[in-house]
């Protein structure tokens, strides 16, 4: 019995002794990750050559009253007080000149974004400038001033394109493509309007063909996000930034205490955390050019080891690093899908315009999309969702994409009851297929 007791005590002592050894081993951080492929190019450009200078001036001049929601309703085809719309357009006449000066530049290089909490005050005015330009294009078209409407629409499209391709982060990219959507709405309306002269349709078609690409801007946005995340990891590691700051905890005694304490390496390992960010963002960059069907869904909780009980993942090494990663990392799959949606909308607008150009010459819509090549389009665009050529239903007179469910529903515009009050643009992505009417 004594021997058994001694053996048990000895085993217990060994186990207790191994615990700190295990913690010490688990607290070892990894070497810093290789980051060369995630670095951004250094861009030097004079203010006079930078469209940002002029777009910023336009944003500062923007008149955006408290009742500007009327203009948004007008763009969505809802009932709106047109006198208010006219006033907003008129009072923003001085905004257009600096926008045009910016459009004459080659690039729109924005200030570097290096922190997760940096403010981007110019983005909201830019989006509202897009709304003003879209409303102006619609007014011009409805007044029969088609040449002016096309000119305004093309300016709006280029404005959006310059913003997205030099994206200073994911939010910046999303604002750029949201402004582009406004321009594409007007492009479709101009193409469908039977009064639009053929010469203006051709001008519109050429402008639509100049848009994009949309992958470089997205990749740039992802690299900016990695830089921001890497800097946040460094600041948390050197106590310049606390995890409580990242989650937005109010400055209480507890938050101040936590902020001033360097976290043990067992619960926070900066280099390991950077590697997690690097792996996530590299995966996004690899998937950025893919069709939606080829994109592998990312389960962020599983990737970060959040599966199982909370106690289990909280006591695992680098728990704080994994929490930081989950807080800062963007919604990966939805951002990648947004690029597909943008490419789909641009391609569909080109196809709709080409079909109307064909109709002007041949006296009716084409029997198939291939008939548009080569006189009206150099090639039939591929659906960015499944990589197949766009679908065309001559009976329904629609062009369509299979959309995110990747199912060809024959150009069905069925959508859930709760989405039926959406605008055409927003509702399209809730339909069985993403349908664009001729």
Q: The pTM is what?
A: 0.88
Signed CA dihedral, 335, 341, 345, 347: sign only:
positive
* Residue pLDDT, tens place only, 284-330: 999 999 999 998 777 777 777 776 666 666 777 888 888 888 888 77
SS3 per residue for 329-385: CCCHHHHHHHHHHHHHHHHHHHHHHHHHHHHHHHCCCCCCHHHHCCCCCCCCCECCC
Q: Report which secondary-structure segment, H or E, holds 5.
A: helix 2-26
Alpha carbon distances (Å) from 39 to 9, 219, 221: 55, 11, 11
d(C-alpha 17, C-alpha 201), whole Å: 80
HSE-CB of 178 using CA atoms within 13 angstroms: 16
Band the pLDDT of 48: cuts 50, 70, 90: very high
Residues 100, 36 contacting (CB under 8 angstroms): no
Specify the pLDDT at position 250: 47
Q: Tokens 């007008």 correspond to what residue?
A: 74
Residue 1 has a pLDDT of 57
- The CA-based diameter of the chain, rounded to the nearest angstrom, is 105
pLDDT tens string 126-163 = 999 999 999 999 999 999 999 999 999 999 999 999 99
Q: How many CA atoms lie within 13 A of 380 on its CB side?
A: 18
Average pLDDT score over the chain: 86
- The domains of the chain are located at 40-212, 219-330, 359-438
More confident residue, 33 or 117: 33
Kindly tell me if the per-residue pLDDT of 394 is higher than 50.
Answer: yes
Among the listed residues 123, 224, 114, 137, the one whose alpha carbon sits nearest the alpha carbon of residue 189 = 137
Confidence (pLDDT) at 264? 76
**What is the Cα–Cα distance from 110 to 114, expressed in whole angstroms?**
12
């Amino acid at each position: 019995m004594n021997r058994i007791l001694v053996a048990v005590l000895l085993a217990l002592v060994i186990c207790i002794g191994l615990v700190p050894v295990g913690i010490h081993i688990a607290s070892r951080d990894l070497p810093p990750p290789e980051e060369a492929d995630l670095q951004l190019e250094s861009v030097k450009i004079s203010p006079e050559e930078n469209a940002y200078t002029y777009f910023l001036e336009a944003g500062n001049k923007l008149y955006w009253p408290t009742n500007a929601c009327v203009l948004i309703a007008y763009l969505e085809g809802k009932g709106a007080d047109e006198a208010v719309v006219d006033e907003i357009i008129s009072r923003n006449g001085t905004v257009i000149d600096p926008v045009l000066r910016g459009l004459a530049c080659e690039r729109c290089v924005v200030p570097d974004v290096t922190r997760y909490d940096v403010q981007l005050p110019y983005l909201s005015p830019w989006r509202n400038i897009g709304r003003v330009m879209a409303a102006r294009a619609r007014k011009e078209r409805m007044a029969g001033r088609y040449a002016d409407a096309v000119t305004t629409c093309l300016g709006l499209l280029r404005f959006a394109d310059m913003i997205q391709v030099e994206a200073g982060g994911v939010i910046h990219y999303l604002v750029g493509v949201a402004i582009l959507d406004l321009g594409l709405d007007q492009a479709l309306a101009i193409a469908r309007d039977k009064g639009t002269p053929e010469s203006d349709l051709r001008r519109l078609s050429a402008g639509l063909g100049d848009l994009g690409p949309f992958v470089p801007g997205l990749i740039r946005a992802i690299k900016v996000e990695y830089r921001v995340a890497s800097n946040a990891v460094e600041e948390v590691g050197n106590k310049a930034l606390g995890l409580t700051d990242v989650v937005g905890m109010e400055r209480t005694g507890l938050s101040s205490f936590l902020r001033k304490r360097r976290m043990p390496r067992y619960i926070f390992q900066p280099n390991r955390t950077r590697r997690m960010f690097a792996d996530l963002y590299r995966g996004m960059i690899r998937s950025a050019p893919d069709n939606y069907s080829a994109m592998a869904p990312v389960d962020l909780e599983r990737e970060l080891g959040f599966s199982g009980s909370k106690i289990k993942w909280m006591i695992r090494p680098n728990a704080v690093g994994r929490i930081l990663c989950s807080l800062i990392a963007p919604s990966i799959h939805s951002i990648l899908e947004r690029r597909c949606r943008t490419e789909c909308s641009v391609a569909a607008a080109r196809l709709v315009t080409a079909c109307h150009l064909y109709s002007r010459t041949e006296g009716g819509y084409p029997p198939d999309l291939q008939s548009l090549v080569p006189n009206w389009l150099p090639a039939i665009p591929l659906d960015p969702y499944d990589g197949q050529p766009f679908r065309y239903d001559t009976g329904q007179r629609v062009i369509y994409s299979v959309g995110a469910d990747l199912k060809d529903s024959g150009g069905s515009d069925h959508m859930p009851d709760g989405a039926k009050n959406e605008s055409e643009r927003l509702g399209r992505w809730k339909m069985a297929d993403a349908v664009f009417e001729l």
